[in-house]
Amino acid sequence: MTRPKPQPGILDITPYVPGESAIAGKSSSGDERVIKLSSNETPLGPSPEAVKAYQAAAAGLAQYPDGSAAGLRTAIARRYNLDPDRIVCGAGSDELLNLLAAAYLGPGDEAIYTEHGFLVYRIVILAHGATPVIAAEKNLKADVDEILARVTPATKMVFIANPNNPTGTYMTTDEVKSLRAILPGHVLLVLDGAYAEYVTAEDYTPGTELVMAGSNTVMTRTFSKIFGLASLRIGWALCPPEIADVLNRIRGPFNLSGPAIAAGIKAVEDSGHVEEAARHNMKWRPWLETELKKLGLDVTPSVANFVLIHFPEGGEHNAQAADAFLKENGIILRRVKGYGLPGALRMTVGVEEANRKTVSLLEKFMQHSGARVE
């Protein structure tokens, strides 16, 4: 019997598995509630003004939202000193990555991403019939030479998460500029800056100036991290005018809901709340790195709102055992085996209590065999 067949590449996709949010037999509320540190969500939550705007938008649920998200694009442009006509909004940056692949990739094309890059890149490349090409990293960091070595006449796109998830490493401004300068002009460079607001390194750029200066670079950003609106799925891309025009032709006419637009405007306008979240991260991420190293664990230096913790690969104190032990005690970190890092766990920076409890439990785990603390 004949049946419909999906397009080439789709059945090669391994579905994306998000960070776990529940533990069987553990409560999601109360004094012994589960502590979720698996999805890089801000521990401070969204701006109170964004919550108010979301709630007020309930009165207009019967009406279609503004299909152009003009108010949100204007608010983003005002905050970052950009041209709103170059901004395209999407249902999370994931949708924008998919739209870029739909517009510029097809069968016979190749697209490059790095060895431990965001898993969605491979998904969107395969979904549109193109071939994913992996560039090796050096010391868990994207490497310009390794990327350029994999460019062929079939290369149409390069995806760079900067900072990268799950490693927390970043490419410097000079490295990004060098990559763009040497890549062929027809290759679209996509700079994914989901964690850009957390970075304080002076030699970092999310890519704004490269987008503004040329016709072949796009920067994507999200409201899911420091702005605390992950549940509303809001992303945006800064594009050359021609690429913005292309994305607006193929995106859904109402791809952002009215409540999402309303909350997004207030979130981006509340600079004080964003600054508070950044200060919290700058206090507790270095603290976590220091305390975890005291336990004999290797931690990849991070500029984002998470740390990548490496466990001994042999014996009873490996990453799988650590993950199980933490879950027994109500804490969820992120296994990153799917990123090619089976010996590591990724930990989101949490509130003080969560950070201290996680370190304390890992200390017990590393010192004792078969420890079980309830």
Residue 339 lies in a domain: yes
C-alpha to C-alpha distance for 221 and 58, rounded to whole angstroms: 26
Q: Give the pLDDT band (50/70/90) at residue 20.
A: confident
- The encoded tokens of residue 138 equal 């050096």
Domain carrying residue 359? 10-45+272-367
pLDDT digits (tens, 9 = 90+) for 275-292: 999 999 999 999 999 999
3-state secondary structure of 19: coil
Residue 94 lies in a domain: yes
pLDDT digits (tens, 9 = 90+) for 84-135: 999 999 999 999 999 999 999 999 999 999 999 999 999 999 999 999 999 9
- The encoded tokens of residue 162 equal 């900067």
Cite the DSSP H helix spans in 149-190.
Answer: 173-182
Place of tokens 């199980």: 324
Last residue within a domain, chosen from 216, 240, 270: 270
Q: At what angle do helices 92-104 and 241-250 cross, to 10 degrees?
A: 100
Average pLDDT score over the chain: 95
Strand (E) or helix (H) holding 55: helix 48-56
Residue 374 lies in a domain: no
Instruction: Say what the pLDDT of residue 374 is.
Output: 46
Single out the residue of 228, 250, 49 nearest to residue 237, CA to CA.
250
Measure CA of the first residue to CA of the last residue in the chain; give whole Å: 55
Q: Phi and psi (nearest 5°) for 160?
A: -130, 120
Using DSSP bridges, classify how beta strands 110-114 and 155-161 pair: parallel, antiparallel or unpaired: parallel
pLDDT digits (tens, 9 = 90+) for 350-362: 999 999 999 999 9
For residues 246 and 279, state if they share a domain: no
Q: What is the mean pLDDT of residues 240-257?
A: 97
Q: State the total domains in the chain.
A: 2
For residues 139 and 229, state if they share a domain: yes
pLDDT greater than 80 at residue 321? yes
Q: Give the pLDDT band (50/70/90) at residue 370.
A: low
C-alpha to C-alpha distance for 162 and 172, rounded to whole angstroms: 9
The DSSP symbol for 338 reads G
C-alpha to C-alpha distance for 122 and 300, rounded to whole angstroms: 23
Using DSSP bridges, classify how beta strands 334-335 and 188-192 pair: parallel, antiparallel or unpaired: unpaired
For residues 84 and 35, state if they share a domain: no
Q: What is the mean pLDDT of residues 248-261?
A: 97
φ/ψ bin of 69: left (φ > 0), alpha (ψ from -120 to 50), beta (otherwise)? left
3-state secondary structure of 191: strand
pLDDT digits (tens, 9 = 90+) for 38-92: 999 999 999 999 999 999 999 999 999 999 999 999 999 999 999 999 999 999 9
Instruction: Say what the pLDDT of residue 30 is.
Output: 53
In the chain, the percentage of residues whose pLDDT exceeds 90 is 88
Q: Is 217:207 a contact under the CB 8 Å cutoff?
A: yes
For residues 201 and 180, state if they share a domain: yes
Instruction: Say what the pLDDT of residue 23 is.
Output: 81
DSSP annotation string for 84-120 = GGGEEEESHHHHHHHHHHHHH--TT-EEEEETT--HH
Single out the residue of 297, 298, 302, 347 nearest to residue 323, CA to CA.
347
The DSSP symbol for 303 reads S
Residue 1 lies in a domain: no
For residues 66 and 198, state if they share a domain: yes
pLDDT greater than 90 at residue 371? no
The CATH number that applies at residue 252 is: 3.40.640.10
For residues 199 and 248, state if they share a domain: yes
The whole-model pTM stands at 0.93
